Structure 1
Amino acid sequence: MKFQIPLTPGAVTQFLLRVVVGLVVLSFLSQMTLYFLPEYPSRDYFAKAFNVDYERNIPTLYSFLALLFSSILLGVIAHAKNLDSCRYKHHWKILSFIFLYISLDEIGQLHEKLVDPMRNLLNATGFLYFTWVVPIGFIVAIFLLSYIKFLLHLPVSTKKLFVVASALYIGGAFGVEMLGGYLASTTGMENVSYVIIATIEESLEMVGIVVFIHALMSYIKTYLGGVSWNIYIQGKNTQPTEIQNTGIATISELANRKLLK
């Protein structure tokens, strides 16, 4: 018996958006209970477990998996481009490794280790209170400038989705983060205003990644033949169970067509 599960962009995007909305709503409501409801059993536990601005909890695990999935999709494209000898194959590979690092950073909060040293060095307050935005922002600026030609060579639909995803993610990670830093340095982090800003920041980042995943899956579907997962279940008088992992159906055709070199 065989089941085929097509990983269509629309289905995956809808699923991820539902997860994001659910996590954001649970996070905000659990945080509001800390300020407006009397204490009840496990209140603090749930507030920490679902807080999108907290470390090592359910939203962090989701973000790690979403970023890791992005890295895998980029790796699949990079592999196809390598077979096709595309001149931008290394750009796809580098993107895959970058998202792998970001996923590890998300689960390990590596960038936050820069905050205290940079804060002491710059004596930072206000919008630069979360001082990791200074060195990381500089690196991101260089990266964006170096990828302009790569972006311009992409199909129009993919290009637009990449721009939207970048604007959402960077706008949240840097723009709204700086506003949150200003509030944290002036009024502290234990107030409703900061909770709202932090929720907006994390929401933009998560939605940005969903848009990016949609862009990658749409690109794979349109230009690389799509992705599907075939599952074989053993029955009577059948061969042993075999699982065929995610793959590109028309990768050999791609090598001959040399799309988007």
Structure 2
Amino acid sequence: MKFQIPLTPGTITQFLLRVVTCLVVISFFSEMAAYFLPGVRSENYFVKVFSVNSERNIPTAYSALALLFCSFLLGTIAYMKNLDSCRYKNHWKVLSFIFLYISIDEAGQLHEKLVQPMRTMLNATGILYFTWVVPVGILVVIFLLSYIKFLFHLPVPTRKLFVAATVIYIGGALGMELVGAYQASVAGEDNIPYKIIVTVEESLEMLGIVVFIHALTSYIKTYLGGVSWNIYIQGKQTQVTEHENIGIPALSAPANTNISR
């Protein structure tokens, strides 16, 4: 018995948008409940499990998996570009490894370990209160400058989606982080404005990743012929030599070869 699960851009995007919406809404109302309802505290199990401002919970797991999925899609594209000897094949590989690291960082909150040493070194207050944005911001600028040629070699629809995803994600991860840092340094983190800022920040990050996944799956479908999972389940009439197999078949020939290499 064989099942085929295509990576359809529209289907994946709609599913992820529903997941993100549910996570953000549940997180926001759980935070508000902890702030307004008597007997409900921020240490409440439900709040900790669903709050986007907490670590190692459901929103964190989702974000880490979404970033890991980006790494997988980028790795798939890098594999095909390597077969075609595309001059930008290494750019795709580097992107895949970057998103793998970001996924690990999201799961383990590694960047948070930079906060205290950098805060002490810079004697930081105000918008630099969460000081990890300083080294990360520098790295982001260097990365963007080094990928300008790569960006302009992409098809126009893919390029627009890449830019939109970058603006949305960085706007949340760095832009709203600076706003939240200022609020935290002035009034602390246990107040409604800070909780709203964090919710907006995490929402933008998750939305940016959804847009990026849509860009990658659309690129694979349009310019690389698409990709799908085939699931084979051993039936009663199957020969003994057959085994259960779950795998990803080779990508078909590019559907549109009119693309810069």
How many angstroms apart in 2 are the aligned matches of 1:86 and 1:40? 56
Q: 1:198 to 1:42 in 2, by over 3 A?
A: closer
Q: 1:123 to 1:49 in 2, by over 3 A?
A: same
Residue 219 of structure 2 is aligned to residue 219 of structure 1:
yes
Corresponding position of 2:98: 98
Corresponding position of 1:242: 244
Q: 1:247 to 1:130 in 2, by over 3 A?
A: farther
Deviation at 1:244, TM superposition (A): 4.0
Q: Percent identity, aligned pairs only?
A: 69
How many angstroms apart in 2 are the aligned matches of 1:21 and 1:229? 27
If the length of structure 2 is used for normalisation, what is the TM-score? 0.95
Q: 1:141 to 1:42 in 2, by over 3 A?
A: closer
Corresponding position of 1:61: 61
**More displaced 10-residue stretch of structure 1: 234-243 or 164-173:** 234-243
Corresponding position of 1:164: 164
SS at match of 1:230: strand
Deviation at 1:241, TM superposition (A): 4.5
Opposite residue 231 of structure 2, the aligned amino acid is I
Aligned ranges 1:44-59 → 2 under 5 Å: 44-59=44-59
Runs (4+) of structure 1 exceeding 4 A deviation are: 40-43
SS at match of 1:138: helix
Aligned length: 259
SS at match of 1:3: strand
In structure 2, list runs of 5 or more residues that go unmatched.
Answer: none
Residue 28 of structure 2 is aligned to residue 20 of structure 1:
no
How many angstroms apart in 1 are the aligned matches of 2:35 and 2:80? 52
How many angstroms apart in 2 are the aligned matches of 1:41 and 1:182? 24
Corresponding position of 1:86: 86
How many angstroms apart in 2 are the aligned matches of 1:74 and 1:120? 37
- CA contact 2:172–2:204 (8 Å) conserved in 1: yes
Corresponding position of 2:138: 138
How many angstroms apart in 2 are the aligned matches of 1:242 and 1:4? 14
CA deviations 1:103-128 (Å, max 9, x no partner) are: 00001111111111111111111111
Corresponding position of 1:177: 177
Aligned ranges 1:113-124 → 2 under 5 Å: 113-124=113-124
Deviation at 1:238, TM superposition (A): 2.1
CA deviations 1:205-235 (Å, max 9, x no partner) are: 0000000000000000011111111112222
Deviation at 1:85, TM superposition (A): 0.2
Corresponding position of 1:152: 152
- CA contact 1:86–1:258 (8 Å) conserved in 2: no
If the length of structure 1 is used for normalisation, what is the TM-score? 0.95
Opposite residue 9 of structure 1, the aligned amino acid is P
Deviation at 1:43, TM superposition (A): 7.4
Aligned ranges 1:26-37 → 2 under 5 Å: 26-37=26-37
Deviation at 1:42, TM superposition (A): 10
Opposite residue 193 of structure 1, the aligned amino acid is P
Opposite residue 246 of structure 1, the aligned amino acid is I
Q: 1:97 to 1:28 in 2, by over 3 A?
A: same
- CA contact 2:221–2:227 (8 Å) conserved in 1: yes
Question: RMSD of the TM alignment (CA)?
Answer: 1.9
Opposite residue 64 of structure 2, the aligned amino acid is F
Deviation at 1:4, TM superposition (A): 1.1
Q: 1:102 to 1:42 in 2, by over 3 A?
A: closer
Deviation at 1:161, TM superposition (A): 0.2
How many angstroms apart in 1 are the aligned matches of 2:11 and 2:48? 30
In structure 1, list runs of 5 or more residues that go unmatched.
Answer: none
